[in-house]
Amino acid sequence: MQPAERSRVPRIDPYGFERPEDFDDAAYEKFFSRYLVTLTRRAIKWSRLLQGGGVPRSRTVKRYVRKGVPLEHRARVWMALSGAQAQMDQNPGYYHRLLQGERNPRLEDAIRTDLNRTFPDNVKFRKTTDPCLQKTLYNVLLAYGHHNQGVGYCQGMNFIAGYLILITNNEEESFWLLDALVGRILPENIFRTWKLIHGHRRQAPRELQGPAAGTGVSVPVPCIARLCTDDAPFQS
């Protein structure tokens, strides 16, 4: 492939990830030239749907979400449908108070250990980038560790929070989305999946009973991953 042809595809994608050296530019351009029509059509539908200001809860929205939310609307839609926006509106200043709370050296050290490991192929998380998103990531994880002390910080949460930061480009919104995802959405869905797989033949693990009962007890990310891999069929 000629250098002029390769230059048409950006070396870095819209999220900040570097494309690998063996990236197939020609195949990408061929696919994207066709897919762009679909993306444009979906973007127009989403823009019309969101003209009223809010994000309605309807079968139409559910259908649209399953087909994909355009990047320009993704943060707004996620915030609304996850309940994160409502929580943020009901708790003004809470996120910043968490960051100003009592120090926890053990929590801080655990988070710092994983900062450089988070998306090493993403230029936005490199220390040489200005601004570097590592500080934003640290704040989100630190605030969540103070907010949900039963979970604190678990390995793997850095990637979840990092992706939320890339989508929202907003520190506080990323915190509330992380809370919705780790504190409620994942545990509730894992519990429902458990029941579908096992029915009433086996009691759900103790870790899942709190969230399912609405007690607000969260399940650490590693525990969720273990339950998925240990109890779901291999084909899933």
Please spell the DSSP secondary structure of 121-188, one letter per residue. TBGGGSTTSSS-THHHHHHHHHHHHHH-TTT---TTHHHHHHHHHHHH--HHHHHHHHHHIIIIIHHH
Q: What is the pLDDT of residue 218?
A: 43
Q: What is the pLDDT of residue 52?
A: 78
Pairwise CA distance, residues 129 & 118, whole Å: 14
Q: Which residue has the higher pLDDT, 151 or 4?
A: 151
pLDDT at 90 over 80: yes
Q: What is the pLDDT of residue 195?
A: 52
* 70-74, 100-104, 201-205: least confident range: 201-205
Q: What is the pLDDT of residue 84?
A: 96
Q: What is the pLDDT of residue 7?
A: 53
Residues 6+ apart with CB under 8 A from 162: 118, 119, 122, 125, 133, 137
Q: Which residue has the higher pLDDT, 130 or 140?
A: 140
Which amino acid does the sequence have at 151?
Answer: V
pLDDT at 220 over 70: no
Residues 6+ apart with CB under 8 A from 209: none
Beta bridge partners of 54: none
Tell the residue number behind the tokens 């899942």, with chain if given: 208
**Which tens digits make up the pLDDT trace of 156-200?**
899 999 999 999 999 999 999 999 998 888 776 665 554 555 555
Pairwise CA distance, residues 145 & 1, whole Å: 49
Ordered by where they begin, the domains of the chain are 28-68 (no CATH), 74-199 (1.10.8.270)
**Which tens digits make up the pLDDT trace of 2-57?**
444 445 788 899 899 999 888 888 898 889 888 889 999 999 999 999 987 889 88
Longest dimension (CA), the chain: 62
Pairwise CA distance, residues 182 & 115, whole Å: 19
pLDDT at 229 over 80: no
CB 15 within 8 A of CB 72: no
How high does pLDDT run on average in the chain? 81
